Structure 1
Amino acid sequence: MLHRGDCHCGNVRFEFDSEPDVHVHRCNCSICDRVGFLHLIIPRSAFKLITSWDELTTYTFNTGVAEHYSCKTCGVKPFYLPRSNPDGYSVNFRCVDSATFAEVVVTDFDGQNWEENAGALAHLSQDSSGSGLGPGSSE
């Protein structure tokens, strides 16, 4: 099923394929706790940015592996490339039109102890197609 999302001002718009029943994670790590990010991790191949990547700014910290994308205009972080799932995106469920979902289960994730717990998330972005629509992809 196709779902759509955007930032607050609408300059960043995206869509993705996902089941209508989803499991999202509420993380208590330093960055997620501050911005209220609810993680819906999807394969890169399921994600499509509708607007230009030029509308986004990138923030990295600590290991520099995760790429946090925020709208240059309103500052909202609608999605990012997570270190735990480099073959996927973590979409901020708070930026998604939730009316297209049938059931949403929210589970707490202990991000304060990220290194010990990240493996529990690694399977969430697995996709057999292996193609992506993010930076560096050919589409």
Structure 2
Amino acid sequence: MVMHMGGCHCGAVRFQVLTSPDLLVFHCSCSICTKKQNHHFIVPSSQFTLLQGLENLTTYTFNTHTAKHTFCRTCGVQSFYTPRSNPDGYVAPHCLDKGTVRSITVENFCGVKWEESMQNHKTIRNM
């Protein structure tokens, strides 16, 4: 396990996550992930700590309103968010500081057919 540090572009939001140096990242094809070119890795909330910037965060939700798309109100960067697939997990690969990630493996997830994909995607389902 490695302590990864990260944050938004302007530095107002900073966080840390305790997880492997080898990340399993999901490429999702749902409507919002496609538009944002979002990639995710899932970290249980017990391994995530927001260090600063709570007052600078704003949240966007849609459809089932389960996913909480959190982003910095100053620079607009989504450093982490709570996904629908794992409402108790945080997701944050693109905003980690350099130096602690050893490798990244990417798996595709068909977010266009979300319910069917959740049933069939053993990796996410077992998290």
Q: Which runs of 4+ in 1 moved over 4 A?
A: none
C-alpha distance in 1, partners of 2:111/2:86? Answer: 14
Residue 123 (str. 1) matches residue 114 (str. 2): no
TM-score (norm: length of structure 1): 0.83
Alignment-derived partner of residue 96 in structure 2: 96
Q: Percent identity over the alignment?
A: 46
- How many residues are paired up? 123
Alignment-derived partner of residue 39 in structure 2: 38
For 2:110, give the aligned amino acid: D
Structure 2 residue ranges without an equivalent (≥5): none
Alignment-derived partner of residue 108 in structure 1: 108
C-alpha distance in 2, partners of 1:57/1:5? Answer: 18
RMSD: 1.2
For 2:27, give the aligned amino acid: R
Structure 1 residue ranges without an equivalent (≥5): 125-139
Residue 85 (str. 1) matches residue 86 (str. 2): yes
C-alpha distance in 2, partners of 1:104/1:98? Answer: 13
